[in-house]
A and B are shown apart, each in its own frame.
Chain A
């Protein structure tokens, strides 16, 4: 990776098309960048299987790296290990918070062996309102405008907000 640091930096500056406050590096989908002379190979991983933003991420990476002087760019997709919200960086969590989105709690990915337990009650997460900081919040819907978010409502300031779901 000796000659790859500038390429990593360039790739890491590309932002997520759905959540532009996050770079692909902050989101944790940028897995590897290796550069050799004119050629760069970038490896990214999808957040969800059906994430429609993958094609845009790929196009944005190719364009950015070409603009920065690597004419030959290949973007590879790595499905394994599966993306986890634990891969969102601290800077990414702060950026989400600053833009009115509640970041996922760390340590929520993974999951041990055995069957996945059924959860029939509303999921209880330690979520604070990203606007007023109140912990008096309630889930409006487990599914939000993008695959990775749930919709919440703050019962103190009454504002709705999105929470990035732990997976």
Chain B
């Protein structure tokens, strides 16, 4: 409650004073953090390797988290206001998917969650996002690349969302009820993302000579990292055999067909570029990343890491 009126605590002198009065329900979006899977039955199906399930959830969750962060970097920088809002909406959908998947990873294997100081209020999903080292991230290298220009962002979003949509459609059949439910929601969202990116690639390709030059350059830059999405990781293969995950090798043809469709109507050639291979046999799925991820994480994590016991 506010103090009795005196010179030092004059409510009219401090616009912040009133914010600390009463309950917290007047805040726009609730009171602090919450478990996005609160109330969801998170029982893990029999016979499933908990550590593998956690790793798989990190793969899909980190793709979404890192892509979301890159898209959010367009806020106030997009070509127009509508596009700014569109990119923020897509980033928000992906962030929602990331929250659910990281929470699922933490529930499946608490061992993946970084240890925080005693008394830290940071929930597991946030500990995974903000306190994990670069080598613990399992996202593909495609999503961590710097945004580049708008054309590069749209080509990257097209490739990611075409792949993720095909994958999530199959993941709906997962024996894991949580993954199945996350996938069912994601399918509806990703269909919008993919259409949006596809339309922009078409628009840029059929636009001006400059926009066409840029989208062609973007395809050449993004394509070499595409294959990593389709490359089956041992964790994905093992869990796919258990009926929990989707082997990404099984979606390649469908994704190819979608991308070919966009290229055909856009009058663009399929890029003739060499894929960026694994590094020492390892890829992003193993935690081997490019420099871009380290810089991204430094920015994304700095505030949380400076205040590991902070309440937000």
Is there contact, CB below 8 Å, between A82 and B85? no
User: Please, how many angstroms separate the alpha-carbon atoms of A95 and B34 in the complex?
Assistant: 31
**A70: Cβ under 8 A from any B Cβ:** no
Most buried by B among A46, A59, A79, A81: A79
Is there contact, CB below 8 Å, between A142 and B86? yes
Is there contact, CB below 8 Å, between A143 and B187? no
**B240: Cβ under 8 A from any A Cβ:** no
**How many positions in chain B have a CB within 8 Å of any CB in the partner chain?**
53
| Residues of the B chain whose Cβ atoms lie less than 8 Å from the Cβ of A135 | none
Is there contact, CB below 8 Å, between A79 and B185? yes
Is there contact, CB below 8 Å, between A75 and B39? yes
**B108: Cβ under 8 A from any A Cβ:** no
Stretch at the interface among B196-204, B211-219, B231-239, B282-290: B196-204
Please report the number of residue pairs spanning A and B whose Cβ atoms sit closer than 8 angstroms: 131
Is there contact, CB below 8 Å, between A50 and B99? yes
Stretch at the interface among A4-12, A86-94, A116-124, A125-133: A116-124
| Residues of the B chain whose Cβ atoms lie less than 8 Å from the Cβ of A141 | 82-83, 85-86
Is there contact, CB below 8 Å, between B262 and A143? no
Is there contact, CB below 8 Å, between A80 and B92? no
**A74: Cβ under 8 A from any B Cβ:** yes
**A105: Cβ under 8 A from any B Cβ:** no
Tell me, rounded to whole Å, the shortest Cβ–Cβ distance linking A108 to chain B: 10
Is there contact, CB below 8 Å, between B90 and A143? yes
| Residues of the A chain whose Cβ atoms lie less than 8 Å from the Cβ of B180 | 80
User: Please, how many angstroms separate the alpha-carbon atoms of A47 and B202 in the complex?
Assistant: 30
**A39: Cβ under 8 A from any B Cβ:** no
| Residues of the B chain whose Cβ atoms lie less than 8 Å from the Cβ of A116 | 165, 169, 187, 191, 194
Cross-chain contact of A118 among B30, B37, B262 (Cβ < 8 A): B262
Cross-chain contact of B85 among A52, A60, A145 (Cβ < 8 A): A145
A20-61, CB under 8 A of B: which get 1 and which 0?
000000000000000000000001001011111111101110
Closest 4 CB pairs of A and B: A50-B96, A55-B30, A76-B39, A49-B96
Q: List residues of B whose CB falls within 8 A of some A CB.
A: 25, 28-31, 34, 36-40, 82-83, 85-86, 88-90, 92-97, 99-100, 165-166, 169, 177-178, 180-182, 184-189, 191-192, 194-196, 198-199, 202, 254, 258, 261-262, 265
